[in-house]
Chain A
């Protein structure tokens, strides 16, 4: 007779590997934000060729299921790099996951950031220019503070998508929360599968709510940079 593990046991077993999920999540969130900003810059500055490539990448990452993107990166990167003499034939599943999720998150964020950048009124650019700001000063002191509050809700949604999609990396063989959950579900002869996955759901719910909370905090902090539009000028 196999004893089914208790709820506490399952939670502790799952939390033992939670750091792998968080590690993949945080690294791809940071790299994805950098990539997204870079790609947005390419689109905004209208750099030929690179701009077309960015559009293709962004369309691809949004049209193709993330599970395929994970598999393509996992299988395609080693042979691709070996053409350039770089040998990564033992690319770890974790590294492949980070690359795939970074591309996905970056492609998604490009749309969000571009819209936020476009939302900054043209007069703001002109005003800064006429005050003699250098382009870098203009960007960091005038434009960026106004882009952030507009882009935050979209960034929050992108983060939620990213968190949900990290649950798929176990398909590549990463031993994260989902991988461990499958093992537990299989080990106890199907006695507590529902229980295991409900606990996994609760863990993910906690993570998404933390991320939502973070975004809301940032929104509150940056609210003062949001200029009143014609619609709510007198109201706020």
Chain B
């Protein structure tokens, strides 16, 4: 193991770190959005849609992420083209960016876990809280935004932290469809200077560091929310 190479690799990988984190944040936010929709569909038992959600969850329980990414990679352009043709738009989806495909595939995968987290955290708010809010004259919407959501958020926060890390790790599969993130960059550097172990160790340490920081931040944020609620 060569210290100088480690340092060079570190400097080489560093520029893609903000990009990787930004990609992870986008996917994370999208997955919360889709997860909330899924949770609402399950909670209100919306016909047809609930069957689709349940089937989709079963599919994802069994399908490895990389297989899903490949399916999306090869089928998404066709699907988008079908719809643009239907609406007679002149958009050619064949040169759709692999980044978009990765975002769609990973968001959908993580959202099915997020749906469970969100459902569980809203169910954990006791009914007495809602009754108390209503008896104090809160409208249902006010009760939802001011009483229920803050408490559900405290419950969901540790899960959100680990979901973010799942997203970070999942993006590392983007190299299969030419998206460049920390791991893909490490791989490129390794094949250019043939110091494979060093590049992968540096990348691993970066992921590890990010994980430690995220866990610290969620813990801090959680204790702050707890003291307020």
Contact = CB atoms under 8 A, between A and B. Distances in A.
B197 A68 contact: no
Nearest to B79: A194
Contacts of B75: 194
A65 B65 CA distance: 13
A69 B172 CA distance: 12
B172 A65 contact: yes
Given A76-B197, A79-B197, A194-B71, A65 B64 contact: no
Contact of A63 (B68, B201, B211): B211
B141 to A, nearest CB: 34
A41 B66 CA distance: 34
Q: Is the interface of A mostly helix, strand, loop or mixed?
A: helix
Contacts of A206: 62
Interface in A157-200: 160, 163-168, 171, 178, 181, 185, 190, 193-194, 197-198, 200
A205 B63 contact: yes
B173 A67 contact: yes
Contacts of B66: 167-168, 178
A204 B61 contact: no
Given A65-B172, A79-B197, A200 B67 contact: yes
Interface residues of A, number: 39
Contact of B172 (A68, A166, A167): A68
Interface residues of B, number: 36
A66 B200 CA distance: 12
B207 A208 contact: no
A72 interface: yes
A167 B64 contact: yes
B122 interface: no
A200 B71 CA distance: 10
Nearest to B78: A194
A62 B170 CA distance: 12
Given A167-B67, A193-B74, A201-B71, A63 B207 contact: yes
B203 A208 contact: no
Contacts of A117: none
A75 B165 contact: no
Given A194-B74, A197-B74, A65 B169 contact: yes
26 contacts: A63-B165, A64-B169, A64-B204, A65-B168, A65-B169, A65-B172, A65-B183, A65-B207, A67-B173, A68-B172, A71-B200, A75-B196, A76-B201, A163-B64, A164-B65, A167-B64, A168-B173, A178-B67, A194-B75, A194-B78, A201-B68, A204-B62, A204-B63, A207-B62, A208-B62, A209-B62
Interface of A: 59-60, 62-69, 71-72, 75-76, 79, 160, 163-168, 171, 178, 181, 185, 190, 193-194, 197-198, 200-201, 204-209
Given A64-B204, A164-B63, 8 more contacts: A63-B212, A65-B173, A67-B173, A68-B200, A72-B201, A168-B173, A194-B74, A204-B62
